[in-house]
Structure 1
Amino acid sequence: MSQDSQHGRWTISSSDDDDEAIPLSGTTTSGPHRPALSSHGSHPSASPPSPKVEPVTAAVEVKPEPANAPASSLVVGSEARQSAATNQLNPVKCETSPSLAGKRKNEASDGSGWALSDSDDDDGDVKGKGVVKRGPPSPKTKKPKETERPPSPHGRLYYIDEPEDFFESSVPCLNDTYRFYLNKVTGLDRKYNSGALHIRDILSPLFGTMKESVQFNYCFDLAWMVKQYPPEFRDRPVLIVHGDKREAKARLLKQAQPFPHIRFCQAKLDIAFGTHHTKMMLLWYEEGFRVIILTSNLIRADWYQKTQGMWMSPVFPRLPEGSDDSAGESPTFFKRDLLEYLASYRAPELEEWIRRIKEHDLSEARVYLVGSTPGRYVGSDMERWGHLRLRKLLYDHADPVPGEERWPVIGQFSSIGSMGVDKTKWLTGEFQRTMTTLGKSSLRPEPPMHLVYPSVEDVRTSLEGYPAGSSLPYSIQTAQKQLWLHSFFHRWKATATGRSHAMPHIKTYMRASPDFTQLAWFLVTSANLSKAAWGALEKSKTQVMVRSYELGVLYVPAAFNMKTFPVHKSQFPVSSSAGFPVPFDLPPTCYSPKDQPWIWNIPYSQPPDTHGNIWVPS
């Protein structure tokens, strides 16, 4: 059974040229990971040879992970994330793919050729399992002990060690205009990591003398996180702000048992399918206080071979004793909005941090905070959170531009929710209205909207291969209901930053000039393309409902004494002040008729990825 769309036919079959099936999780390997491309010589009839991918540099060393790592290192996150990690423990040989494909074909019991579940909404990273079964494990694969550490994306035993010069050894330059940085990616040419940061860099004593910190996030590997702190700070108090409940919460608490310096704050999630998706660090130093708003989970895979982004504040100094409560505010009201966001948790564990922030001078912040917190809001409160908060900021602080009807909106994300039976239900009828706001102009054009999301081929040829798709949770249950959306899709290409093969977990939104040399505004955020993250209007547009916690920062040219942001397409380092460091190629490349968006819960077996893996969901 197949369905046609503008971007080709989607099927589930045993044919050798069918690479459109897409899994919830799980991957198969044909052996230990090697730095260079694996050979597909054992599958001469499977497909044309894979496109050449820049090999990992020879300087890196492959080492096995310890087999007796504690259970506390297990990743905590959604059921889908757990399933992805679990399936990587039982690799299926590439040679088994034809029989597996036949098995999957027979299991599509609804007759549609799509793997269905009883879920009627997909809210980003939240969802669970597909009904397509994974094939039997390889006979050579032993069932792992419960105490074993989850494997790398390339198999149970191997990660690539970073070269010795991968981490900062001297004080990095952090005074560029925008303070927007990409993460370092293992395996890229050194120049493409110039100006980028790893979590170990961020927590380094080069950045400040740590006294205490808060980590807001969605997925956690606490044992790994603790190791990212330098030894001298490794026992300093850490507060973990999370949204886990019941079994997931119990797993998280179990992770922390070896670490008495870790405490917890559970975010309230009272609306179904909401998540605590915010990713923020609050770092309290002897020298002051720093805020980092980012897109990475606190797990190694997110800091390994994925493209991530972050805004890093300067070190905010302590205010003089006796300062007024309104002191230390920035022109963008960053201090007020950060305090309001923290207060929305209604958590006693954050009261001490709210007091500390009040005592610091945040006047150097030049970005606007755009947050989401769960709830239903009416009246003026509708503009406090979600995309209506962004709309309000763009109305008040962005400036109209000549010919703005031709300035496209570009959105880029790693997960997609359900948006309705046609584009007017939310995407163009509501979300685009926000994205096209520029000042108080009465003109409300509908310019082009380019949505950048990896295709199957992008994932297949990535540094990680198919396992990179476990962080791109667009489900078949959602995709089949909104084929109209795929006409907006554009490929993930990032040749200027060397990251075309480092799949994105970063989320960005912007408004660009027709020649893509200027930006009217830019946003980096944790929010994917979903109503859960951004909010949706209800009750004849008199109320907005938001399901999840999200957080991002908005760059508006006026706050930098500019009319627009210049874009430099081939600038290094990637955090250059000469032009805004857009993390992918402009103009975006539209999907070809043969391209299909990556969907993570149907299988891909032919052709294998760049490591000889196939992808089989459970």
Structure 2
Amino acid sequence: MSQNSLHGKWAVSSSDDDDGEELPSFKTESSAHPTGVTDSYQNTHPSVSYQSSNQIYHAPLSPDTVTEVKDEPDDSSHFPGLKPDVKAEADVKPVCPNAARDSQSNPGKYESPLSGKRKKDQDDSGWALSDSDGDDDDAVGVGNKANNPTSWRAPSPKAKKPKVEIIERPPSPYGRQYYIEETDDFFETHVPCLNDTYRFYLNKVTGLDKKYNTGALHIRDILSPLFGTLKESVQFNYCFDIPWMVEQYSPEFQDLPVLIVHGDKREAKARLLKQAQPFPHVRFCQAKLDIAFGTHHTKMMLLWYEEGFRVVITTSNLIRADWYQKTQGLWLSPLFPRLPDGSPSSDGESPTLFKKDLLEYLASYRAPELGEWIQRIREHDLSETRVYLIGSTPGRYLGDDMDRWGHLRLRKLLYDHSIPVPDDEIWPVIGQFSSIGSMGLDKTKWLAGEFQRTLTTLGRSSVRQDPPIHLVYPSVDDVRNSLEGYPAGGSLPYSIQVAEKQLWLHSYFHRWKADTTGRSQAMPHIKLYMRASPDFTKLAWFLITSANLSKAAWGNLEKNNSQVMVRSYELGVLYLPSAFDMAFFPIQKNPFPATSSSKAFPVPIDLPPQPYLKTDQPWIWNIPHNQAPDTHGNIWVPS
């Protein structure tokens, strides 16, 4: 079936709505590996071809050393053996890739992300893959056959299994030269320039001019002695590469206790536990996901030091690709000191009630493993915090509980703590995300109904607003011209099955550009929402979060608006000018090099956003993109 839209013509099988039909199979073929294919294994997921104009090679992969490193409901990955999990109530969730640290001597043919059968009971919607939900990213892990999320077929029954070998860096499915080595000065040896006003940072990106990484942070910076003498930590996330994660801690911290909070079940959980077997200091806490198709998508670190306590809320999974050539954002809290002995646990609260909200969020897990961390937070002074916490936790909420989580929580905070502005109907709302769920057959179903009402709330004004909404999502050309090339699209899992049902949504789309920051080539995995003045010089508010554009993440009203249902765990922080004794945030036009004294907010995208032209197409990850090669000479060909 052909589908015409404002942004091009797509082709998709006319039987794509049949129950039980699988997504197309995609073969991932690299143009840079100099050897042929000697072994192969079967994967239940579709794969993508990366085909050079000159020749096609298969990237090295040993079936016995494939490890799944799952990723989030906002993204997906392109590594071989990647296990996408696209569950949702019509949401296509991100996929978390598998990666391989394998023996270079045993090249193999691999198939990558996109396959699965549609669930017969799935509402309006997308495709359900295996239960290991995926985000958008690449991951790398250490594995063996027990870890292998795929089935495979050896070249002969008597073939010997290759020896599992841990190497410093996984082979790239796009060729030996795909990874660019970080320069010697990439990892700072001194305390980075910290923006003490907002404590909002971007990640360092390999391959950019050094000035565009000035003031940015890498996970190694965060987990180094530069920020405190670490004693213990908790990592909340969607996708994990445990061996890689351990390596990011400074050597003196690599044996300290780490608690992993995850949402994996059954086989995915078994694979995650298998990854951690060589690391006895790593423990696990499984988040309860009581509503179908929900995911644990929160990305947070709790860091306990000899000197105090710190919270980091980010948009990155715990896999190398998320910290390599993607645009990510994070909020780094101040170092919270310990309260004097005997202080009431209510002491150390901030004007934004951050301490109370963080404790409430952690309590929502109903997990004994988090009990000691809840007590530690009570014993610390969080009064310096100037941001509001906005979380999502799975459940159906009634009455006063409706505005505790999701977009209704955002609505309440904007109602209580923001101020009306003249001509607010022309102040645009801007959203940036890496994954898109099903919005319904027309804009009134959710986006321009309840969600728009939330995003356009400013103070206690009762005026019904209908301002412009600019949704920033990469086009095909944005992905093609990125540092990673087409493989970056593996972290943007917007499928044709969802897209063709909501062509109306694409009229809201704007190009991903970050020219003022010099980062336009680093595809976004960041998720942010904001309200700007018509001339884009001021912000009414700014939100950095793990939540993509989906009802599963933000919640949706049910039963004649008498209850709200939320499927997933998400977490973000909201910046409101009133918490900084300001009427508005001035927008910083050139955030790099970063400075700590500026009162202007470092918005990481070009303003005003540039709408799609008629020739632009939104990135769809499971249809061909072969009109032109990417920055590595490859094309994207589902087969």
Please say whether Structure 1 and Structure 2 have the same fold, judged by a TM-score greater than 0.5. yes
Q: Could you tell me how far apart the structure 1 residues matched to 2:224 and 2:601 are?
A: 26
* Alignment partner of 1:293 out of 301, 313, 338: 313
Q: Secondary structure at the match of 2:292?
A: coil
CA 1:545 to 1:242, structure 2 compared with 1: closer, same or farther past 3 Å? same
Are positions 1:235 and 2:255 aligned together? yes
The separation in 1 between residues aligned to 2:595 and 2:440, in whole angstroms, is 38
In structure 2, the partner of 1:468 is: 488
Which one of 207, 211, 219 corresponds to residue 239 of structure 2?
A: 219
Cα deviations by residue, 1:147-167 (Å, 9 ceiling, x for unpaired): 477643633675221101001
The CA deviation string for residues 119-139 of structure 1, in whole angstroms up to 9 with x for no partner, is 6434999479xxxxxxxxxx9
Once the two structures are TM-superposed, the CA of residue 476 in structure 1 deviates from its matched residue by: 1.1
Q: CA deviation at 1:505?
A: 0.3
Q: Is the 8 A contact 2:29 2:51 kept in 1?
A: no
Q: What is the rounded CA distance, in whole Å, between the counterparts of 2:365 and 2:451 in structure 1?
A: 25
Distance in 2 separating the partners of 1:123 and 1:602: 15
Question: What's the counterpart of residue 535 of structure 2?
Answer: 515
Q: Is the 8 A contact 1:23 1:615 kept in 2?
A: no
- Structure 1 residues 535 and 89: CA distance shift in structure 2, 3 A: closer
The reply on whether 1:559 has 2:579 as its aligned counterpart is yes
Superposition deviation, residue 603 in structure 1 = 2.4
Which of 377, 381, 384 is the matching residue for 2:397? 377
2:125 maps to which of 96, 121, 124: 121
**C-alpha spacing 1:169/1:381, structure 2 compared with 1 (3 Å):** same
Contact 2:527–2:544 (8 Å) recurs in 1: yes
For residue 30 of structure 1, what is the aligned residue in structure 2?
31
Instruction: State the match for 2:69 in structure 1.
Output: 75
CA separation of 1:89 and 1:291: change in aligned 2, threshold 3 A = closer
Structure 1 residue 426 and structure 2 residue 446: aligned?
Answer: yes
- Cα 1:151/1:532, change in 2 over 3 Å: farther
Conservation of the 8 A alpha-carbon contact between 1:68 and 1:148 = no
1:396 to 1:219, Cα distance in 2 relative to 1, 3 A: same
Distance 2:468 2:234 in 1: 40
Q: CA deviation at 1:70?
A: 9.7
Q: Which amino acid aligns with 2:31?
A: S
Q: 2:564 is matched by which residue type in structure 1?
A: V
Residue 553 of structure 1 aligns to a residue whose secondary structure is strand
Amino-acid identity (%) = 73
Q: How does 1:52-451 map to 2 (within 5 A)?
A: 71=65, 74-77=68-71, 81=76, 84-86=79-81, 117=118, 120-122=124-126, 126=133, 147=164, 151-152=171-172, 154-155=174-175, 158-451=178-471
Q: Distance in 2 between matches of 1:559 and 1:386?
A: 21
Paired residue for 2:612? 591
**Alpha carbons of structure 1 residues 77 and 507: separation in structure 2 relative to 1, 3 Å:** closer
Counterpart CA distance in 1 for 2:345 and 2:230 is 25
Q: 1:250 to 1:493 in 2, by over 3 A?
A: same
Bigger helix fraction: 1
SS at match of 1:4: strand
Question: CA contact under 8 A between 1:32 and 1:158: conserved in structure 2?
Answer: no
Checking the alignment, whether the CA contact within 8 Å between 1:278 and 1:551 is kept in structure 2 is yes
**Is the deviation greater in 1-10 or in 303-312?**
1-10
CA distance in 1, matches of 2:382, 2:63: 41
Residue 514 and residue 220 in structure 1: after superposition, are their counterparts in 2 closer, same or farther (change >3 A)? same
Q: Deviations over 1:260-305 (max 9, x none)?
A: 0000000000111100000000000000000000000000000000
> Structure 1 residue 608 and structure 2 residue 624: aligned?
no
Structure 2 residue aligned with 1:7: 7
Which consecutive unaligned segments of at least 5 residues does structure 2 have?
A: 14-22, 35-49, 83-96, 100-115, 136-154
- Other-structure match for 2:588: 568
Change (3 A) 1:70 1:11: closer
Residue identity matched to 2:250:
P
SS for the counterpart of 2:603 is coil
- Deviation digits for residues 51-93 of structure 1, max 9, x if unmatched? xxxxxxxxxxxxxx99899959641347995775327999xxx
SS at match of 1:447: coil
Alpha carbons of 1:275 and 1:346: their partners in 2 closer, same or farther (altered >3 Å)? same
The alignment's TM-score, normalised by the length of structure 1, stands at 0.83
Q: Which amino acid aligns with 1:185?
A: V
8 A Cα contact 1:152 1:159, kept in partner: yes
Conserved 8 A contact 2:308-2:336? yes
In structure 2, the CA distance between the partners of 1:12 and 1:482, relative to structure 1 (3 Å rule), is closer
Which stretch of structure 1 is more off in the superposition, 593-602 or 582-591? 593-602
- Following the alignment from structure 1 to structure 2, what is the Cα–Cα distance between the partners of residues 559 and 398? 10
Q: 1:66 to 1:183 in 2, by over 3 A?
A: farther
Q: CA deviation at 1:425?
A: 0.2
Q: Quick one: distance in 1 between partners of 2:568 and 2:127?
A: 9
Shift of 1:28: 3.2
Any idea what the Cα deviations from partners look like across 1:288-330, whole Å, max 9, x if unmatched? 0000000000000000000000000010000000101210000
User: Could you tell me how far apart the structure 1 residues matched to 2:592 and 2:160 are?
Assistant: 46
| Other structure's SS at 2:450 match | helix
Residues 333-355 of structure 1: CA deviation (Å, up to 9, x unaligned): 00000000000000000000000
Task: Assess if the C-alpha contact under 8 Å between 2:234 and 2:261 holds in 1.
Answer: yes
Identify if the C-alpha distance between structure 1 residues 612 and 385 changes in structure 2 by more than 3 Å, giving closer, same or farther: same
Give the conservation status (yes or no) of the 8 Å contact 1:24–1:470. no
Match of 2:520 in 1: 500
Q: CA deviation at 1:27?
A: 4.1
Provide closer, same or farther for how the CA distance between residues 568 and 439 of structure 1 changes in structure 2, counting only shifts above 3 A: same
Deviation string, structure 1 residues 530-553 (Cα, Å, up to 9, x no partner):
000000000000000000000000
Matching residue's letter, 2:384? E
Question: How far apart are residue 442 of structure 1 and its match?
Answer: 1.2
